[in-house]
């Protein structure tokens, strides 16, 4: 499913830089402009212009409440006799000698940066206009003391044009989502200017008349990432990617060969996941698959509500069963009627993480889970437990082991991951609904304590060690806790 509303809400509430921070940025920028204008800095200022994600309107909220960056170009007339370093060192001195900014200023290779206590960073980059009487724009490289050609305004215009061709700011929104994906997953390396260029280059003037591929945010995402993946798969070796308005600037040099190969592989994976989530007809399963793409903040409230309301939903769906058993919640209903009592979609609750590994077309072998009941960990087994037994008493332990169809342990060239999923009110109140993948915590077995009243599940997933291919998986094992 496209889940347009959830995608839009996710972009607005999680990805986009919030209005308060934008206001703070605008106020800070005006203050910095005022300091430069009021200083005795020698270059004559022609203008100030936003650069980078701020200018492109693709700036996003930093992950984990980190600092966000904004770039401001300071266009100046050339100063006779000055090298590239002079523009940067003297601009730094303006702020180093200012009472407000003396402890906030740092100089980097191409800019002077003002850091606001982990909240935001503003990069001020001098851009020299028409040095030597030649019509051109140049930024300053402190390390080499050289001037470097730049076309920031034309680049922004190039992006704006392509964004317009997608309609509804499709390119701009997809770029924000992909930057968030890069930052939150941290599975690939791609500088923002390179990522933005790669995405923008997937749009052509033919898309101005395209009424299908950019109708909403998830469709635009599927379209652009699909086109990017097609292009990457056609380029096994690192291709040359140039700045579209400045051919001398080779943006692909920001990668090494290994980084490109990894980027190519990860985009292929995310394209597969996006297509899977988009095509999934079941709403809860689709939410779960979109969460595999973007993480647990996607449709979070819906996922938590589904997990918390399993008893309510079961009693509503099975009213007659509930009346006949005087059932108060899913535990009592399940204890009487077993699997019949589970509410629709119980085995596909959206807060469960979907497997992130490449999956074999069909399981290589059957996997069963066997469990033993213990007073403590470690401790002697008191008895065996089958799926759905109980209700089991709290504060005891279960030891889970994966076995083949003939009862043998999983061979050593495979590893086991366990998906442990809690449900219902007690686990929600304890902030322990879980749903992620866990490693074994005792050789090839997994110990779990019995804590929260409810019907919970554990599943075994078998990975082949040499290539991390998911080759087999068990059915859910139901743990009923009273």
Residues 107, 113, 114, 115: what is their CA dihedral angle, to the nearest 10 degrees? Answer: -100
Residues 257, 260, 265, 267: what is their CA dihedral angle, to the nearest 10 degrees? Answer: 180
Cα separation values, 421 from 44, 92, 246, 308, 435, Å: 64, 54, 52, 12, 4
At 351 the pLDDT is: 97
In this structure, are strands 445-449 and 397-404 parallel, antiparallel, or unpaired? antiparallel
At 51 the pLDDT is: 93
* Token digits of residue 337: 């009627």
Rounded CA separation 78/184 (Å): 42
SS3 311: helix
| Per-position pLDDT tens, the chain of length 482 | 999 999 999 999 999 998 888 899 999 999 999 999 999 999 999 999 999 999 999 999 988 777 888 999 999 999 999 999 999 999 999 999 999 999 999 999 999 999 998 788 999 999 999 999 999 999 999 999 999 999 999 999 999 999 999 999 999 999 999 999 999 999 999 999 999 999 999 999 999 999 999 999 999 999 999 999 999 999 999 999 999 999 999 999 999 999 999 999 999 999 999 999 999 999 999 999 999 999 999 999 999 999 999 999 999 998 887 788 788 899 999 999 999 999 999 999 999 999 999 999 999 999 999 999 999 998 999 999 999 998 999 999 999 999 999 999 999 999 999 999 999 999 999 999 999 999 999 999 999 999 999 999 999 999 999 999 999 999 999 999 99
SS3 147: strand
Rounded CA separation 314/329 (Å): 8
Where is 285: in which H helix or E strand? Answer: helix 283-294
Question: What is the maximum alpha-carbon separation in the chain?
Answer: 94
At 365 the pLDDT is: 96
At 92 the pLDDT is: 98
Condensed to tens digits (0 to 9), the pLDDT of residues 394-416 reads: 999 999 999 999 999 999 999 99
- Is-contact 367 404, C-beta < 8 A? yes
SS3 151: coil
Rounded CA separation 120/358 (Å): 38
Dihedral sign computed on CA atoms, order 469, 473, 478, 481: negative
Q: Please tell me the class of the 348-481 domain.
A: mainly beta
pTM for the whole structure: 0.94
Short-list 257, 293, 298, CA closest to 275: 293
Count of C-beta atoms within a 10 Å radius of residue 240:
9
Condensed to tens digits (0 to 9), the pLDDT of residues 294-329 reads: 999 999 999 999 999 999 999 999 888 778 878 889
Give the residue extent of every domain in the chain: 17-150, 154-279, 348-481
Rounded CA separation 327/319 (Å): 9
Rounded CA separation 75/185 (Å): 36
What is the architecture, at CATH level 2, of domain 17-150? 2-Layer Sandwich (3.30)
Cα separation values, 447 from 115, 140, 378, 434, 444, Å: 47, 59, 9, 15, 10
């Amino acid at each position: 499913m496209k889940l347009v509303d959830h995608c839009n809400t996710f972009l607005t509430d999680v990805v986009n830089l919030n209005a308060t921070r934008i206001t703070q940025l605008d106020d800070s920028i005006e203050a910095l402009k005022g300091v430069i204008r009021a200083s005795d800095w020698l270059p004559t200022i022609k203008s100030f212009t936003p650069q980078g994600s701020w200018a492109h309107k693709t700036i996003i909220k930093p992950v984990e409440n980190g600092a966000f960056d904004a770039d401001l170009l300071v266009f100046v007339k050339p100063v006779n006799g000055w090298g590239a370093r002079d523009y940067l060192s003297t601009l730094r001195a303006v702020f180093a000698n200012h009472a407000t900014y003396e402890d906030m200023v740092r100089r980097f290779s191409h800019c002077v940066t003002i850091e606001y206590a982990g909240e935001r960073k503003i990069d001020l980059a001098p851009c020299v206009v028409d040095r030597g009487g030649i019509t051109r724009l140049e930024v300053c490289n402190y390390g080499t003391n050289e001037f470097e050609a730049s076309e920031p305004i034309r680049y922004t215009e190039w992006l704006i044009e392509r964004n317009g061709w997608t309609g509804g700011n499709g390119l701009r929104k997809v770029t924000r989502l992909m930057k968030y994906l890069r930052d939150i997953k941290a599975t690939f390396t791609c500088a923002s200017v390179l990522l933005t260029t790669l995405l923008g280059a997937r749009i052509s003037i033919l898309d101005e008349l395209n009424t299908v591929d950019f109708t909403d945010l998830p469709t635009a995402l599927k379209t652009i990432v699909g086109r990017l993946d097609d292009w990457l798969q056609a380029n096994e070796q690192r291709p040359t990617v140039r700045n579209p308005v400045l051919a001398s600037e080779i943006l692909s040099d920001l990668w090494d060969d290994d980084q490109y190969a990894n980027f190519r592989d990860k985009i292929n994976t995310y394209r597969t996941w996006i297509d899977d989530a988009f095509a999934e007809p079941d709403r809860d399963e689709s939410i779960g698959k979109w969460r595999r793409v973007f993480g647990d903040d996607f449709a979070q409230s819906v996922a938590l509500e589904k997990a918390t309301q399993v008893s309510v939903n079961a009693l509503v769906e099975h009213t007659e069963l509930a009346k006949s058993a005087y059932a108060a919640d899913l535990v009592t209903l399940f204890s009487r009627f077993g699997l019949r009592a589970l509410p629709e979609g119980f085995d596909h609750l959206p807060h469960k993480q979907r497997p992130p590994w490449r999956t074999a077309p069909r399981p290589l072998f059957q996997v069963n889970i066997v469990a033993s009941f213990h007073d403590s960990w470690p401790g002697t087994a008191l008895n065996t437990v089958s799926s759905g037994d109980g209700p089991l008493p709290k504060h005891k332990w279960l030891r889970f082991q994966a076995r083949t169809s003939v009862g043998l342990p999983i061979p050593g060239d495979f590893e086991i991951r366990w998906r442990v999923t809690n449900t219902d009110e007690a686990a929600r109140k304890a902030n322990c609904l879980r749903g992620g993948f866990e490693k074994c915590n005792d050789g090839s077995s997994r110990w779990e304590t019995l804590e929260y009243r409810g019907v919970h599940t554990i599943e075994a997933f078998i990975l082949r060690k040499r290539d991390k291919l998911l080759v087999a998986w068990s059915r859910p094992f139901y743990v009923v806790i009273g």
